[in-house]
């Protein structure tokens, strides 16, 4: 048995842990199908001097044991709680190791893993020094209890120049010796790029740090390991600060979505600011800390506009070349008044919290598949794939030459950037970056603080190499798109033998990946908002190819910050722009607060978020009770948003079903937390909503216009209807009385048939159409819906040349990188690849071959919480014309797979690699122990 991977729940990186209670996990692998863990022991040691433990002896002598689980006799590998008495040590390296025992009593020790703490007990204290220290210095007696605990408090100072335009900050540092370890804690409002000694690795690959939050409540800080960058002698620390959403800057000619109709918008702050602490550890066990303060220097940036909506202005003539290196001479740089002493500034209001979600990083690079001159000085590049992007260009030309870079998902008949929706022409005209060249040979430009989604890049004021123009435009030598997205760990893929389905998979993937940042955006170009419905609607699909646990946990923190005093959970978190009516108050959005904790439990095997989310969930349910009508229905929200754009169909069906689901989830949270009275209260509450739902929406068979029971909407009071969404919601939310389930399934299929197997659903209902059709094993209907010639139709998107999903079922759509229609990807994984989790964290899971479909070959994999699942399905015609179906399946250690076949008489020949012989099994549900299998199916 081997321990192949270890980690800490909720934290993607482990360099700034800021809490005293964490949960460990680990992954096992063995060739033995019966191998399993029966006991474990986890030991945590603290290393105040950054001494690394001896790999051959753990815990090592001289390193105090901070926490020891002792030998625990169970098979748990996830959510192992660790809460040392007295807490973790602040700004200290900690090391932990797990040892497991198998059924034979053999121990296996895992690798020694490291994490570094910030200030776990500082959350109740003041943030870094800021405020007005002239009027009320922190040395005053009233602040004594806030600052007398020196080891456990923040020491940095928020600094800036008092302005709201981008700035550079730097400090030259002389080190008498090279530190063995160096960890930086830093934050900058709104975004910052950390630099050190001119090394591009100083920010550890991050961009757009820190994560977006409600800055009045939470400020994220990031941590970087610069141990290999600092050296003996002169060093430089620095940061480039931009506006982001904290101090949004529209400029006088640019698009800025948070603006209201009167062209105003809400800012969180009016001073760009930065703080840092650099913790240095030396081989002799000594340490020192460097902090921001008045010994830092500040200068205005060459980037004079940092509008996050892909609109920057930068004059390369003003760029201080080498400013992040030791060779730079501050005194010789007089641009914008030169370098001045940094000022202590007020700083943001929010409490500091470690950036626990994956950072935003650069991923794939897209080379243009086509480039063309549209007119003298205007060049267009086609990247071939629409995606969230930060472009990079290389250009040469005379000093003072001005370039305009525009971004688009569509082009017009002449090949120019184009916004198809006439209501959003401002996005076509007013989203651009303006660059002025310095004339210093080959120059590189890339955005500092902004991104968008684009397939087409239009550059004005340049010409292609070899164009031979007489206008003497600057030459553009190269342009690439660099996909920017969350660094959430990639888990797997799926591929079929159908080109159109593969194109759909690709379309969904790029739509999903292009909307994952420090929260789940709705689109990465026009809005960039944290609309909450996509978090839970797309979670069952996203978990197949990205590890979303830490990002979902952060989104839940955002929701706690966003909740209103009356309990209402708004439709977005954080709120960048205040909405009203159903755009502010809709359970299918706000209900994510009660849905995501259960999603995290089911897919990732941890309930760590339950304790802090329980009361926010209770408050939201209490608020929703005030919005009930007809004894328990909800119908005040957006209904099936996206159906005919925003018609609001099926409000009562959808919103009451979600209400019921949220109540059941809160009931289960109460049980998990040992709150018996609350569990019973929410059980009775949910039971009441169940009865109300069926009393008002279930139409019994016989006397109705259909010879079976079905569900109606309340779209037209006093009239009944029978649409596919109403049936799907009742079935998928377990609202159908057992005696009516068969009838409602019939009603659903007949509603589909009456619609000509065309999609009649918006973004909310869509997921549950696919779920119901998967349960009914009707891939034929799914594919017929997807392949319609006219909208609604996924394949129409593809036929129109789209490579990501449009916001609505339209050709001329304002946004072509919305992921909200992508719930069909869940169906591809579940019903085509056949993979589905059955119990927490894939401890047991099922694989169902697509025998009743047109697919002849499907393959895919997924790194589940217990290891790598691999599935390959193949169906061929034998020489005698018979269909021969086979599979290859890999079952990870610590899990059990169940092969699902159509009938009790179905059989399979099973060969487990590494063993002798083939065994035959019969039935609908056949267990597969860990191992690699070749399966020959006789369905």
pLDDT computed for residue 55 by the predictor: 77
pLDDT computed for residue 840 by the predictor: 97
pLDDT tens by residue, 169-196: 999 999 999 999 999 999 999 999 999 9
If you write DSSP's letter for every residue of 85-122 in order, what string do you get?
TT-PPTT-EEEEEEEEEETT--EEE---EEEEB--TT-
d(CA 406, CA 361): 22
pLDDT tens by residue, 293-320: 999 999 999 999 999 999 999 999 999 9
d(CA 223, CA 275): 12
Task: For 365, list phi and psi in degrees, rounded to 5.
Answer: -105, 130
Which residues fall within 8 angstroms of residue 105, CB to CB, at 6 or more apart? Answer: none
pLDDT computed for residue 138 by the predictor: 57
If you write DSSP's letter for every residue of 305-317 in order, what string do you get?
EEETTTEEEEEGG
d(CA 56, CA 883): 56
Among 64-73, 766-775, 844-853, 874-883, whose mean pLDDT is lowest? Answer: 874-883
- Enumerate the β-bridge partners of residue 922: 907
Q: Which of 588, 610, 723, 749 lies closest to 656 in space, CA to CA?
A: 588
Mean pLDDT of the chain: 94
Q: Please give the average per-residue pLDDT across 594-605, as a whole number.
A: 98
Q: Please give the average per-residue pLDDT across 813-828, as a whole number.
A: 96
Residue 376 has pLDDT above 80, yes or no: yes
Q: Which of 238, 241, 239, 225 lies closest to 172 in space, CA to CA?
A: 238
Q: How many CB atoms lie within 10 A of CB 137?
A: 11
d(CA 912, CA 867): 18
d(CA 793, CA 500): 12
DSSP 808: S
pLDDT computed for residue 548 by the predictor: 98
| Residue with tokens 């929703």, as numbered in its chain | 624
Report the alpha-carbon angle 806-811-812, nearest 5.
90
Pairing of strands 463-464, 475-486: parallel
pLDDT tens by residue, 206-215: 999 999 999 9
Size (the chain), residues: 939
pLDDT tens by residue, 257-288: 877 666 667 789 999 999 999 999 999 999 99
pLDDT computed for residue 134 by the predictor: 46
| Residue with tokens 């040590």, as numbered in its chain | 89
Helix, strand or coil, per DSSP, at residue 785: helix
d(CA 665, CA 656): 14
> What is the number of helices (H) and of strands (E) in the chain?
17, 45
Identify which has the larger pLDDT, 718 or 17. Answer: 17
Among 250-259, 626-635, 707-716, whose mean pLDDT is lowest? Answer: 250-259
pLDDT tens by residue, 750-774: 999 999 999 999 999 999 999 999 9
Residue 103 has pLDDT above 60, yes or no: yes
Residue 137 has pLDDT above 60, yes or no: no
pTM: 0.96
pLDDT computed for residue 292 by the predictor: 94
**Confidence band, pLDDT 50/70/90 cuts, at residue 432:** very high
Among 119-123, 725-729, 810-814, whose mean pLDDT is lowest? Answer: 119-123
pLDDT tens by residue, 229-242: 999 999 999 999 99
pLDDT tens by residue, 673-698: 999 999 999 999 999 999 999 999 99
pLDDT computed for residue 703 by the predictor: 67
């Amino acid at each position: 048995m081997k321990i192949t991977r270890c980690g800490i729940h909720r934290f993607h990186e482990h360099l700034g842990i800021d809490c005293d209670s964490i949960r460990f996990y680990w992954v096992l692998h063995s060739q033995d199908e019966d191998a399993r863990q029966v006991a474990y022991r986890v030991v945590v040691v603290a290393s105040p001097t950054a001494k690394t433990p001896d790999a051959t002896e753990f815990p090592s002598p001289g390193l105090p044991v901070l926490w020891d689980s002792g030998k625990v006799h169970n098979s748990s590998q996830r959510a192992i709680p660790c809460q040392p008495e007295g807490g973790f040590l602040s700004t200290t390296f900690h090391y932990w190791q797990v040892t497991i025992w198998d059924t034979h009593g053999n121990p296996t020790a895992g690798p020694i893993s490291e994490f570094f703490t910030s200030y776990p007990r500082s959350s109740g204290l003041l943030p870094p020094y800021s405020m007005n220290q002239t009027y009320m210095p922190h040395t005053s007696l009233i602040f004594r209890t806030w600052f007398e605990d020196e080891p456990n408090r923040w020491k940095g100072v928020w600094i800036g120049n008092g302005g709201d335009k981008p700035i550079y900050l730097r400090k030259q540092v002389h080190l008498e010796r090279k530190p063995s370890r160096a960890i930086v804690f830093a934050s900058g409002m709104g975004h910052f790029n950390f630099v050190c000694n001119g090394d591009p690795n100083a920010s550890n690959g991050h961009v757009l740090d820190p994560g977006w939050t409600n800055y009045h409540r939470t400020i994220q800080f990031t941590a970087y390991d610069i141990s290999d960058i600092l050296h003996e002698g002169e060093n430089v620390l620095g940061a480039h600060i931009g506006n982001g959403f904290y101090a949004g800057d529209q400029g006088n000619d640019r698009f800025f979505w948070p603006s209201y109709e009167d062209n105003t918008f809400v800012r969180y702050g009016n001073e760009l600011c930065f703080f840092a602490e650099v913790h240095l550890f030396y081989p002799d066990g000594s340490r020192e800390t460097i902090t921001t303060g008045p010994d830092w220097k500040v200068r205005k940036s060459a980037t004079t506009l940092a509008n996050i909506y892909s609109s920057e202005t930068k004059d390369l003539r003003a760029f201080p070349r080498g400013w992040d290196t030791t060779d730079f001479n501050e005194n010789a740089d007089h641009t914008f008044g030169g370098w001045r002493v940094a000022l202590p500034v007020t700083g943001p209001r929010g409490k500091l919290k470690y950036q626990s979600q994956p950072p935003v990083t650069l991923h794939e690079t897209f080379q243009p598949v086509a480039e063309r001159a549209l007119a003298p000085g205007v060049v267009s590049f086609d990247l071939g794939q629409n995606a969230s992007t930060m472009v990079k260009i290389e250009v040469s030309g005379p000093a003072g030459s001005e370039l305009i870079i525009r971004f688009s998902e569509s082009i017009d008949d002449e090949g120019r950037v184009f916004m198809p929706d006439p209501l959003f022409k401002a996005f076509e005209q007013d989203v651009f970056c303006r660059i002025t060249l310095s004339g210093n040979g080959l120059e590189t430009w890339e955005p500092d603080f902004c991104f968008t989604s684009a397939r087409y890049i239009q550059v004005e004021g340049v010409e292609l190499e070899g164009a031979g123009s007489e206008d003497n435009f600057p030459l553009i030598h190269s342009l690439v798109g660099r996909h920017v997205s969350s660094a959430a760990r990639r888990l797997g893929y799926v591929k079929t033998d159908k080109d159109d389905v593969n194109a759909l998979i690709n379309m969904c993937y790029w739509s999903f990946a292009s909307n994952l940042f420090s929260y789940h955006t709705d689109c990465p170009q026009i809005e960039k908002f944290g609309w909450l419905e996509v978090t839970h609607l797309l979670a069952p699909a996203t978990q197949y190819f990205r590890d979303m646990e830490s990002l979902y946990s952060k989104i839940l923190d955002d929701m706690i910050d966003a909740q209103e005093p009356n309990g209402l959970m708004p439709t977005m978190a954080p709120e960048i722009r205040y909405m009203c009516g159903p755009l502010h108050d809709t359970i299918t959005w706000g209900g994510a607060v009660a849905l995501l904790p259960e999603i995290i439990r089911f897919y990732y095997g941890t309930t760590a978020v339950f304790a802090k989310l329980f009361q926010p969930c209770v408050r939201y349910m209490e608020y929703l009770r005030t919005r009930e009508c007809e004894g328990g229905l909800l119908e005040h929200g957006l209904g099936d948003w996206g159906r005919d754009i925003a018609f609001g169909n099926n409000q009562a069906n959808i919103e009451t079903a979600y209400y019921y689901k949220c109540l059941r989830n809160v009931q289960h949270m109460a049980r998990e937390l040992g709150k018996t009275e609350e569990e019973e209260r929410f059980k009775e509450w949910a039971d009441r909503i169940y009865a109300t739902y069926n009393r008002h929406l279930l139409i019994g068979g016989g006397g109705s216009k259909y010879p079976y029971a079905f569900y109606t909407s309340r779209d037209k009071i006093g009239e009944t209807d029978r649409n596919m969404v109403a049936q799907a919601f009742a079935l998928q939310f377990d609202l159908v009385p057992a005696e009516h389930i068969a009838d409602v399934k019939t009603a659903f299929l007949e509603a589909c048939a009456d619609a000509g197997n065309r999609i009649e659903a918006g973004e909310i209902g869509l997921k549950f159409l696919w779920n119901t059709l998967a349960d009914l094993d009707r891939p034929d209907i799914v594919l017929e819906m997807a392949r319609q010639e006219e909208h609604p139709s996924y394949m129409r998107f593809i036929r129109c040349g789209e490579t990501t999903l449009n916001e609505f079922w339209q050709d001329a759509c304002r946004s072509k990188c919305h992921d909200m229609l992508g719930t069909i990807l869940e169906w591809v994984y579940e019903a085509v690849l056949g993979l589905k989790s059955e119990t927490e964290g894939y401890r047991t899971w099922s694989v169902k071959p697509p025998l009743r479909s047109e697919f002849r070959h499907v393959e895919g994999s997924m790194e589940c919480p217990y290891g790598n699942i691999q599935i390959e399905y193949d169906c061929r015609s034998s020489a005698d014309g018979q269909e021969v179906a086979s599979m290859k399946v890999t079952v990870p250690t610590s899990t059990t797979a169940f092969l699902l076949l159509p009938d009790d008489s179905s059989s399979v020949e099973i060969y487990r690699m590494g063993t002798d012989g083939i065994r035959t099994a019969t039935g609908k549900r056949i267990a597969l122990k860990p191992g690699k299998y070749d399966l020959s199916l006789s369905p």
